[in-house]
Amino acid sequence: MMIELRYRILTSFAALAATVLFTSASFAETDHDDHEQQHEESEGNSIEDTVALSDEVFKEFGIVVGVAGPDVVIRTISLPAEIHANEDRLAHIAPRFPGIASEVRKSVGDSVKAGEILAIIESSESLAPYPLKAQIDGTVIERHITRGEPVSQARGRVFTVADLSEVWVDISVYQKHLTSVQLGQTVHISAGHGLAEAEGTISYVSPIVDEETRTATARVVLANPKGLWRPGLFVTAVVELERVEVPVAVPRTALEEVEGSTVVFVRGQDGFAPRPVTFGLRGRDLVEVTAGLKPGDSYVTKGGFTLKSELAREELADGDDH
């Protein structure tokens, strides 16, 4: 019986994809822009079907049940950002006297210690060699010198060493968000590709807007002890704008689309039924429910797609019977 039920649930996914459009795009933005629309259910709209599954099926498909109640909705915005070297932790090394590079010991990517010799320069004036040394512990990120090449102060730096144990996350802030992004706000930084999310706070917001991009820069100083956050890496910065405690909130994973309505599956006497809900504040992980779910209701917080699939299968089966 379990194998048959599992087969019905799995095979109903394909049929469901052709009959039910599941859209989560309406929840992607959490900053209440003008284009975000409040989900409203017409009066009297209800879905009577109930799905009853065994505890074994719940466990097998990872279905999680919770109890509705108060929670904190975190309103956020997602902005593009880029990792840069911390300019307060850079050392530009230039020759003191003009001369010829007789020896070059370090290349881009090499780790160095303060005082370590990077190159040997033979002075053009005294013909005596002198060393170019690293001024800080760090990594060589630029090298503009080769053996036998003439160097001078006029030519400028020949090495750049960066301490990458801390990096800057420079966030592009669009004009419409300038009044919302402020010092001290928490920021969640993600790059994908298996890199774990990091968290920091905004320590700087530029007082001017770039003439070309029409954006300002907000900055997070991010600890980088393992060197995973490399300068030049493009990331996403999710800025926390506001934390609001609400009477009822549910995780986004609880929301499903059934018959054109966004629903949560609520436990009743005969099983779980899809119940249309109305939303208030929408946060990064949670959304406020203003109607359709009350404190104390037991509902599916994760895995509702399995119940939706079984519901669609039953409806298809009922249609075949007629």
310: domain range? 2-70+247-321
State residue 321's pLDDT score.
57
- pLDDT, one tens digit per residue, over 31-75 is 444 334 444 433 334 455 788 887 888 888 889 999 999 999 999
List Cβ neighbours of 9 (8 Å cut-off, separation of 6 or more): 57, 61, 306, 309, 310, 313
In this structure, the answer to whether residues 60 and 200 fall within a common structural domain is no
On whether the CB atoms of residues 183 and 115 are closer than 8 A, the answer is no
In this structure, the answer to whether residues 297 and 210 fall within a common structural domain is no
Single pTM value for the model: 0.73
Print burial letters for 230-263: b (CB count within 10 Å at least 16), e (below 16). Answer: ebebebebbbbbeeeebebbbbbebbbbbeebbb
Rg of the chain on CA atoms, in Å: 29
State residue 60's pLDDT score.
86
Q: Which of 244, 262, 281 is the last residue of a domain?
A: 244
In this structure, the answer to whether residues 62 and 99 fall within a common structural domain is no
State residue 318's pLDDT score.
61
- Domains held by the chain: number: 3
In this structure, the answer to whether residues 292 and 233 fall within a common structural domain is no
Amino acid at 292: G
Q: Which of 189, 217, 244 is the last residue of a domain?
A: 244
In this structure, the answer to whether residues 280 and 252 fall within a common structural domain is yes
The H or E element containing residue 142 is strand 138-143
State residue 195's pLDDT score.
86
Q: Return the SS3 of 252.
A: helix
CA distance 322 to 236: 52
Q: Which of 162, 186, 215 is the last residue of a domain?
A: 162
CB neighbourhood size of 104 (10 A): 19
In this structure, the answer to whether residues 61 and 101 fall within a common structural domain is no
Which residues of the chain, if any, have pLDDT below 50?
A: 1-3, 5, 7, 9-46
In this structure, the answer to whether residues 175 and 197 fall within a common structural domain is yes
